[in-house]
Amino acid sequence: MAVLLGMLSSGPAAVASIGTEGDAGARSLYEGSWSTPVLGPDDQTRFGPLVPADQTLVYYADGCHTGRQGTTVPPGCVYGDPDSPRRVVMVGDSKVGRYFPALEEIARREGWALRTMTKSACAFVDEPDPTYPACDTFNEAVRSELAASPPDVVLTSGMRESVADGYVRTWEWLGAVGVDHVVALWDSPLPQAEVAPEPCIDDALASGLDLTTCAAELPETSGGNPSLRAAAEQVSVADYVSLRDWICPDSMLSPRCATVLGGVELYGLGSHLQPAFTSTLTDPIHQRLHERGVAAYRPSVDRIGGANRYETAALITRDVPAGGRVFVASGQNFPDALAAAALAGDGGAVLLTTAATLPSATRSALQRMAPAEIVVAGGDLAVSDHVVEDLRSYAPSVRRVAGPNRYATAALLSELPPVRPGGTVYVTTGTAFPDALAAAAQAGASSSPILLVQPDGIPSDTASALRELAPQRIIAVGGSTAISEKVLRALQPYATKGADRVGGTNRYETAALLARGTAPGSTLHVTSGVEFADALAAAPVAAARGGAVLLVPPDRVPSATADAVLDLSPQQLVLAGGAVAVAEDVKRALIRLVP
């Protein structure tokens, strides 16, 4: 289920950079690990706007949830990978159903066939309820189906109190019929406050009041958690997974809990978490299922993607330290941004602009980074004088570096620090971007410049820059179509150790070859190989982290990219670009490549 997420601040004038992922909800607590949340100063949202509340559950709309009067299990209702031999059942009351957005995505990543068997206010527990015979009848139907065809895993939860013995009997029975693992997920307690979260938040938003005044206690002693936890301790095939730390982290509000986290309301009706929030629990739940041996993979791929290339570039710079150097280049033409991206690897960043106006996302990023210097890469056709004047309000030093053409501009950029004579120079074609996309990260990691050549010749500006730099080594990036053998031979005299080609049969192989020297266990960035903007914005960050940039088409992972991921065994992959640039199925495939 697609949910609109965004970056929201804690002040009344918050402006979101909207993407498929971001800092919304529980994701705001992510600080390098999905095992342990970290509460930041702005994570408990104090003012709007908020991510729109969403009470929709896809499987409800599909007729796959049984209401209070029903007693039968709806047929079908399999999500994730319906044909998978790995079968997982989500069973219990509507509370466990609230985790469906997260569980469905995990099923897609893991390749599970996820079956839903839920009924309103009906925990799956061997403890008859004389006041609710329809629940008992429904549970008998569930037991019949599970006994006839036992799944590998049962995911459950429930709000009934004082039924630990019933859970023990139920889970031991599941183990006896062939279920390998039972996982009891945290049951969200009923918020305790003078005013329920929903109306309190509505009033606070309407009045401009601090949303933390709507904080409520979530007592662990009420609801289903005591029974679920106690039963899991007694059954060998069972695990209890608490999510309280991702929902109510310790804070100055303790023992109360914020009811808006990362710009998303936690609660809907009663004690039910709302789906827009539970979708942001996907990675924490996936990590905890992995730690318990239920999930084969872990949430190793994080997407950074905005609504367009300008927002994506701004989002990528979120961790860049303030006070450095920022390059601003055209988001519509690649050559100037390519040369700038290599130099930005020395603790800087690349932001993108249109020719005529500075995008709002770029403005916000500049305000956040407060750079000491802004370098505009390219002439006034690429970045107008109006934009340059606009940039002067964001840094004490703003200058344009531009030659009469792309070759001259790259040569002028190569004169900027930290480039030193006698090092390595990367050379790529100035007529097309595919082979050059991954070169910026590798060049930036070694403070090496990128110069441009024509397929069949070395422009005079490039030749002059090479003589000035006097490199030990030249790396020509791309195949013979991008840089001919004639040009490669002509480059040899400019370097004391000659010129070598790094180029595969396509852009994906070239990027993989460039990444070979990356240390195992580092962070790799993966971006579209069809468009240039996301790759060039990611290059400085990848260089600063000692990583590399790999490329994918929008809808699949090429074998060269997959092999590179397997060989480098990264700790994390960062997918730069939204779901239009690189599909969610590509992200899932990448997750399955990381150990």
Q: Identify the pLDDT of residue 20.
A: 39
Q: Identify the pLDDT of residue 56.
A: 83
First vs last C-alpha separation in the chain: 26
Closest CA to 544 of 440, 427, 398, 456: 440
The per-residue pLDDT for range 344-395, each reduced to its tens digit, is 988 899 999 999 999 999 999 999 999 999 999 999 999 999 999 999 999 9
2-6, 80-84, 236-240: segment of lowest average pLDDT: 2-6
Q: Identify the pLDDT of residue 7.
A: 28
The per-residue pLDDT for range 121-177, each reduced to its tens digit, is 999 999 999 999 999 999 999 999 999 999 999 999 999 999 999 999 999 999 999
Helices and strands per DSSP (H, E), number in the chain: 22, 25
The owner of tokens 């183990």 is 175
Phi-psi region of 25 (alpha: psi -120 to 50; beta: other; left: phi over 0): left
Q: What is the mean pLDDT of residues 558-576?
A: 96
Q: How far is Cα 558 from Cα 561, in angstroms, rounded to an integer?
A: 5
Q: What is the mean pLDDT of residues 8-17?
A: 26
pLDDT range class, residue 236, cuts 50, 70, 90: very high
Give the three-class secondary structure for 489: helix
Closest CA to 436 of 529, 307, 354: 529
Q: Identify the pLDDT of residue 16.
A: 24
Q: How far is Cα 1 from Cα 93, in angstroms, rounded to an integer?
A: 20
Burial of 548 (0-12, 13-18, 19+ CB in 10 A): buried
Q: How far is Cα 60 from Cα 525, in angstroms, rounded to an integer?
A: 37
The per-residue pLDDT for range 251-293, each reduced to its tens digit, is 999 999 999 999 999 999 999 999 999 999 999 999 999 999 9
pLDDT range class, residue 32, cuts 50, 70, 90: confident
Q: Identify the pLDDT of residue 243.
A: 98
3-7, 238-242, 483-487: segment of lowest average pLDDT: 3-7
Whether residue 18 is predicted with pLDDT greater than 50 in this model: the reply is no
Q: Give, for 563, the enclosing helix (H) or strand (E).
A: helix 559-568
Q: Identify the pLDDT of residue 5.
A: 27
Burial of 577 (0-12, 13-18, 19+ CB in 10 A): buried
The owner of tokens 């991206």 is 341
Q: How far is Cα 105 from Cα 485, in angstroms, rounded to an integer?
A: 48
Q: Identify the pLDDT of residue 265.
A: 96
Quick one: how far is CA 483 from the chain centroid?
A: 35
Closest CA to 477 of 556, 539, 416: 539
Structure tokens belonging to residue 139: 């549970």
The per-residue pLDDT for range 406-425, each reduced to its tens digit, is 999 999 999 998 877 899 99
The per-residue pLDDT for range 43-66, each reduced to its tens digit, is 999 999 999 887 789 999 999 999
Higher-pLDDT residue of 458 and 19 is: 458
Peptide bond into 284 cis (omega under 30): no
pLDDT range class, residue 10, cuts 50, 70, 90: very low
Structure tokens belonging to residue 338: 């390519």
What residue ranges define each of the domains in the chain, with the CATH number in brackets? 58-297 (3.40.50), 304-319+407-591 (no CATH)
Distances (CA, A) of 476 to 135, 326, 427: 70, 26, 5
Whether residue 1 is predicted with pLDDT greater than 70 in this model: the reply is no
Structure tokens belonging to residue 552: 């994918």
User: Could you tell me which residues are beta bridge partners of residue 503?
Assistant: none
Give the three-class secondary structure for 101: helix
pLDDT range class, residue 319, cuts 50, 70, 90: confident
Decide if 528 contacts 581 (C-beta within 8 A): yes
Tell me the average pLDDT of the chain.
93
**One-character DSSP codes across 32-100:** S-SSS----TTSB--S---PPP----HHHHTT-EE-TT--SPPS--EEE-TT-S-EEEEEESHHHHTTH
